[in-house]
Homo-oligomer: A and B are copies of this chain.
């Protein structure tokens, strides 16, 4: 699947976008790389979000190899980055399609030329259903499915779809949830009632069964394996009953699960043999930039659970960093940085100061001392705690790793893709 990025690459960007050099003239996105701006040389303003090209490419290729070796397909969750240029890379690296969180994101994918999209969410609003039908009509080769988890939702979708007169039936995945979880049918019986209703609706086809295991993951492999196994057991029971009752629409049956936390367990547990072809579909999104926090820790569990070469080979690499400047050293143990809640993830934990660079002194960014840590953010400031004797000066650059890429990407309309020397090789546009 090759995407048409031209409208994005040809659109002008200017210094109104955070991260674009103050004084630079407006230019097409595609022309940014040729400027050879360098982050460490101070060619760009701070704070600045950067994606390390080598790490991102490595991660994308790593996931292709892992999925291939596991015999599963991947439709990476696009909501992580909402960056068409990254979608294109993921599709080049063998992704079967893309996953999105809602119809707005579907619209962006459809315009790019993505032709297989999983909306890993309930579609409910009349306007969303109408838009879905409209996009399917506009693109005869567009395949979309979405989640259904209640009779009430199904009734709304059927009603709205009938008014929109779809050219072909809508495709639904039946969502299986778990007690105390988020969406999804809570029992086998409830799920089967719904599956039969979908199959009988005429307007909505049953394309498969889905669950999301990521909300209850702990990092304790034994508990996490048990959680996935229990959830998948219901998915399998529902899928085989639907198969027996001939409720699935013609074509492949889709079984889908998998965030970025325990995708190895999902890849092992989810595949199932039915009377017709089954496509097992992971939806991991965060792997592409990985992180320096929650996913870094969870990935160590993935490796520990996996055989060779995954256990010892090169794993996923953190590709996303936010750089800022020390603006004040008001107390011996405190440095204030020019980045805040507007610039960096803080929903799971604080950013991690990884790199330190002083112009005129360092040839390369230096690793920070382990005891440096950020313990607070304001809207536009971070509090970096250092030992009283630490050598941190006003004007020093600090490169932070983040935890949870989704909530850093959504704070930037423009991220800079950099090489190993922090020279900008491309500018990445997001659409949140």
Contact = CB atoms under 8 A, between A and B. Distances in A.
Contact of A131 (B23, B79, B152, B336): B23
A254 B269 CA distance: 67
Contacts of A102: 45, 338, 380
A330 interface: yes
B122 A328 contact: yes
Interface string A181-215: 11111100000000000000000000000000001
A134 interface: yes
A258 interface: no
Given A330-B177, A432-B342, A406 B379 contact: yes
A341 B375 CA distance: 20
A429 to B, nearest CB: 10
B329 A22 contact: no
A130 B23 contact: yes
A126 B331 CA distance: 23
A107 interface: yes
Contacts of A411: 410, 432
A431 interface: yes
Copies, count: 2
Contacts of A330: 149-150, 177, 181-186
A126 B394 contact: no
Nearest to A328: B183
B124 A327 contact: yes
A322 to B, nearest CB: 14
A325 to B, nearest CB: 5
B18 A432 contact: yes
B152 A395 contact: yes
A103 interface: yes
Contacts of A22: 103-104, 107, 127-128, 130-131, 134
A interface secondary structure, majority: loop
A395 B101 contact: no
A317 interface: no
B125 A379 contact: no
Contact of A215 (B42, B329, B378): B378
Nearest to A126: B42
A268 interface: no
A342 B410 contact: yes
A303 to B, nearest CB: 25
A128 B347 CA distance: 30
A15 B107 contact: yes
Interface in A124-160: 124-128, 130-131, 134, 149-150, 152-153, 156
Contacts of A103: 22, 45
A17 to B, nearest CB: 8
Interface of A: 15-16, 18, 21-23, 42-46, 79, 101-104, 107-108, 111, 121-122, 124-128, 130-131, 134, 149-150, 152-153, 156, 177, 179, 181-186, 215, 325-331, 336, 338, 341-342, 346-347, 378-381, 383, 393-395, 406-407, 410-411, 413, 431-432
12 contacts: A16-B431, A22-B127, A44-B127, A45-B131, A150-B329, A153-B327, A156-B394, A179-B331, A182-B336, A182-B381, A183-B381, A342-B410
Nearest 9 Cβ contacts at the A-B interface = A22-B131, A152-B394, A122-B327, A183-B328, A101-B380, A124-B327, A153-B394, A379-B406, A342-B410
